[in-house]
Chains A and B, each alone.
Chain A
Amino acid sequence: MGSGRRKGGCRRRMGMGTISSAFSLISGALDADQSALSIVANNVANVNTPGYTEEVPNWQENLPVTINGVSYGAGVTETGATSMRDRVLEDRLDQQQQLASASSARLTALNSVQALFTPDSGSSTAAAGDIGSDITSFFSSFSSLESDPTNVSLREEVLSSAKVMAGDVSNAAASLNSQSSALAQQASGVTSQVNSLTTSIAQLNQQIETTSPNADAGTLEDQRQQDLSQLSQLVGINQVTTENNGLSVTTTSGQVLVDEGTSFQMTSGSVAGATHFFVGSTDVTQQLASGGGQLGGTLTALTQDIPNALTSLDQVAYGISTSVNALNNAGTNLDGETGSVAVPIDIFSQPTVVAGSAAAMSVVMTDPNQIAAAALGLGTGDNSNASAMANLAKQSIVNGQTPTNFYSSFVSTLGATVSGVQAENTAENASVTQLQSRNNALSGVNLNDEAAVMSKMESSYQAASQVFTMLNTIIAAALNLGDQTTVA
């Protein structure tokens, strides 16, 4: 842009006489105005071009000339255009976009996880959301059996409720595993987008360094900024400006993705059954998970949220299966038999380790008479062992807590995590909106005055602070009052 029209401040021509000089000055000014007008026209023509940054003409004063001892100004020359960009602001916007994209991706994954564990009171079909009530029903069935330990239908009820619970737990684990696979596939897909953008940024770097090493490169820089903005939404990055208007891009942990004209490809591969990400031969999976962008959010869900949910389910399955099986093998069934290590009489498939217990949870007992309701040596009509199994509901058999307390705690922790990420995401998106409006005022092609936006931001902050302070006072007072009322 702006090839630079120049009006003759030329001493030789000016020496030809005052009229000639004045004419030259005027025609030069017209040339410069024409050139500036073409910059404005270009701005208007690009009003709807995404990422286009407004350009303003640069003016340079020509050297004055002296004629007969009097100094005359020689007008101005339009020397080109400068884009109204602010790299610091763009960098801040990119950073906020990284955070917002990460929390959006994580929130989407978390919402899917939470949906699995949301009770569906209107449905009669078994679902993961019913696991809490399944646990209660299962232990209640032993309480019923306790009242009539030889009753076959009550024994069938125990097996039936055990099957519903085991089915819901294993289905939930299977759903979590398939969500995990889908997220891993999605994350792998992001790498090709990242590579395409880093390649483009490296190419643009080369062009910018060649054509405009010491000045703003206009549309080339707009394109580079567009690519950086998109890259920020995919992965957490840092940018470092280099010599000759070049740029290096690293992951937030410092792994180089673009070094001026060279890009480094990101790849994904399976390590011990899990999807890992590499730059060169370096495994950057953990760093990417905490780095931001869509990939960061997806990897946080993949490496943290879903494994946490699976571990909790595994603990529920392991605790209940091992405790119930142990008691069943310690009592006497309706046929007068007692289980042993060599020939166990288990209700559930016996897990050996916690990991994988939920996915493998199933009921292996088919004959209800095998339920050992009686204590050893007290006859088949005894109910002591059924009582003991019913009492497991009140014992700390799942990671130091009762089964229902542990499960409730897991579900409420999951809910709190979703709520926290939701709050983060709302705030980060708000921050992006604010910065975009500020950036548009500076670099967008519109008539907004930068100072007006600045003032609007300051007044909004002041007014919002007042709202916050007053509401904080009211809410604190109201909550204290609530506590006092409750105590009273």
Chain B
Amino acid sequence: MLECAVRREYPDLRELLIEASRALAQLDASRLEELALSCEALNRVFEDSEVEGRVKLSGQARKASKEMEVFARILDATRDNLGVINRLRDLREGRRGYGERQAQGWVPSENGHGDN
């Protein structure tokens, strides 16, 4: 019973991180938002809990270091991907602006003599 209670208080950090990595790989934003809420709750429980509970969590934290590294790497790759895609979007928006100006007619860059 005690173990169940502890488990309810502290979801396994490794499982949580594996789930977060999977959700981020799949760009499952709603699942990630749920996980963010769970982490908020976990943070509150951690702050309010007794020493014994905190020590249990410290054991979990040590075991979860590899999963944390994987999650950090995926987050890093996502940031890079987002950077590339944002630049592409800017580029395309720039093209749209160029097209609009073109639709309004060309402004000649040369004068009538063509010797500017």
Segment touching B, from A218-226, A350-358, A406-414, A466-474: A466-474
Shortest A418–chain B CB gap in Å is 11
Contact check, A426 vs B74: say whether CB atoms are below 8 A apart: yes
Determine if A478 is an interface residue (Cβ-Cβ < 8 Å).
yes
Stretch of A133-141, A146-154, A433-441 on the interface side = A433-441
Q: Given contacts A427-B70, A431-B77, are A482 and B21 in contact (CB under 8 A)?
A: no
Q: Which of A86, A424, A471 has the most CB of B within 10 A?
A: A471
Query: A85-107 interface mask toward B, CB cutoff 8 Å, 1 = contact, 0 = none?
Result: 01011001000100000000000
Task: Find chain A residues with CB under 8 A from B60 CB.
Answer: 478
| Contacting residue for A423 out of B51, B66, B78, CB 8 A | B66
The answer for the CA separation of A481 and B54 in the assembled complex, in Å, is 7
Closest 3 CB pairs of A and B: A482-B58, A430-B25, A427-B73
Which residue of A437, A459, A467, A475 contacts B20 across the interface (Cβ within 8 Å)?
Answer: A467
Q: What's the minimum C-beta distance from B71 to chain A, rounded to whole angstroms?
A: 6
Q: Is the CB of A479 within 8 A of B82?
A: no
The interface residues of chain A, by DSSP majority, are classed as helix
A-B contacts besides A464-B32, A471-B20, A485-B55, 16 pairs, CB < 8 Å: A423-B69, A427-B77, A428-B77, A431-B74, A433-B25, A434-B27, A453-B27, A457-B78, A457-B82, A460-B78, A463-B32, A470-B40, A471-B16, A474-B43, A474-B46, A481-B58
Total number of A-B contacts with CB less than 8 angstroms? 152
Judge whether A454 and B54 touch: CB under 8 Å: no
Chain A residues closer than 8 Å to B25, beta-carbon distance: 429-430, 433-434
- Most B Cβ at <10 Å: residue of A422, A461, A473: A461
Known: A454-B89, A478-B58. A461 touches B80 (CB 8 A): no
Contacts of B66 in A (CB 8 A): 419, 423
Q: How far is the CB of B19 from chain A (nearest CB, A)?
A: 10
Q: Are A463 and B29 in contact (CB under 8 A)?
A: yes
At the interface, yes or no: A126 with Cβ under 8 Å from chain B? Answer: no
Asked if B59 is at the interface of the complex by the 8 Å CB criterion, the answer is yes
Listed by A's residue number, 22 A-B pairs whose Cβ atoms lie within 8 Å are: A86-B88, A88-B84, A426-B70, A427-B73, A427-B74, A429-B25, A431-B74, A434-B78, A457-B27, A459-B29, A459-B32, A460-B29, A461-B82, A463-B35, A464-B71, A474-B39, A474-B42, A475-B13, A478-B46, A478-B61, A481-B54, A485-B55
Whether B39 lies near A478 (C-beta < 8 A) is no
Q: How many whole Å from B109's CB to the nearest CB in chain A?
A: 23
Which A residues lie at the B interface, using CB under 8 A? Answer: 86, 88-89, 92, 96, 419, 422-424, 426-431, 433-435, 437-438, 453-454, 456-461, 463-468, 470-475, 477-479, 481-482, 485
Contact B81 A92 (CB under 8 A): yes
| B interface SS class | helix
Most chain A beta-carbon neighbours within 10 Å: one of B71, B76, B81: B81
Residues in chain B near residue A419, CB distance under 8 A: 66
**Contacts A423-B66, A430-B21, A460-B23 given; does A467 touch B73 at CB 8 Å:** no
Whether A430 and B43, one on each chain, are in contact in the complex, defined by CB atoms closer than 8 angstroms, is: no
